[in-house]
Amino acid sequence: MDEKSSKQASQVSTAAPSSSEGGAAAARDNGAVGDASKIENAPSVVDDQSGVVIPVAGEAAPSSYSMLEPRMKKVYGAYYKELYYTPERRVLDPKVQELISLAASLVANCEGCLDGHMKKALALGATKEEISETICIAAAINAAAMIDLSDRSAARLGLNHFPTHPTRKE
C-alpha cells in the first residue's frame, strides 16, 4: 500500500459529516429514501486538499443493481437474457460474442463486466492469443476515441498544433 492509500485508509471515518457538508439533508433533497443515520454514518475519507468528505464503500459491497428500481432490473434482465441466453436467435458464435463483450467491458471500464466476460470467454475456449488480440483492439479503439475527442476539441478551439500539411516557409 502506498503512502497516500495508507493515509486515506487511516482517515476512514464513520462519523457523520457536519451540516455544512450537506450530509443526509443533501441526500434527502436528491431523492434518497431510507434511514438517514445510515447515510450520515457511512464510512468516508477526507480529501487532503479540499477537506471534502468523500463516502467510500464499507466492508460489504452493495448488491449488484442495488440502485435500480425492480422494474428496471427486470427490463435489463430480459435484455441480457435475450442477448446472451437465447441461442436460437444468436447470429454470432458464443466465443466471438464474449470476446466482443470483453473488449466493450474494457472500453466501458466495467470491472464486473470484465471479470464475467473473461470467465465466459475462457470457458468457451478463447485462447490467450485471442484474448490478447481482443485487449489490443479495445486499446486501439479507446486510443482512437481520445484522438477523435481531441481533434473535435481542436476544431472547436481553432487549434492545429501539428498540421498534416505544414505551411512552407519561403
Residue % of the chain over a pLDDT of 90: 51
pLDDT for 76-109, tens place per residue? 999 999 998 898 989 999 999 999 999 999 999 9
Contacts of 131 (CB under 8 A, 6+ apart): 99, 102, 118, 121, 122
Q: What is the pLDDT of residue 70?
A: 92
pLDDT at 47 over 70: no
Are the CB atoms for 127 and 95 separated by under 8 Å?
A: no
pLDDT at 143 over 50: yes
CA proximity to 122, closest of 110, 107, 134, 137: 134
Banded model confidence at residue 37, pLDDT cuts 50, 70, 90: low
End-to-end CA distance of the chain: 58
DSSP the chain: --HHHHHHHHT-B-SPPPGGG-HHHHHHHTT--S-HHHHHTS-EEE-TTT--EEE---SSPPPTTTTS-HHHHHHHHHHHHHHHS-GGG--S-HHHHHHHHHHHHHHHT-HHHHHHHHHHHHHTT--HHHHHHHHHHHHHHHHHHHHHHHHHHHHHHT--SS-SSPPPP-
**6 or 146, which is more confident:** 146
Sorted by where each starts, the structural domains of the chain and their CATH numbers stand as 12-54 (no CATH), 92-157 (1.20.1290.10)
Q: What is the mean pLDDT of residues 54-82?
A: 81
Grid coordinates in use for 25?
Answer: 439533508
Q: Which of 31-40, 68-77, 132-141, 160-169 has the lowest mean pLDDT?
A: 31-40
CA–CA separation, 99 vs 124, rounded Å?
10
CA–CA separation, 84 vs 56, rounded Å?
33
Are the CB atoms for 94 and 126 separated by under 8 Å?
A: no
Q: What is the pLDDT of residue 63?
A: 75
Q: What is the pLDDT of residue 60?
A: 60
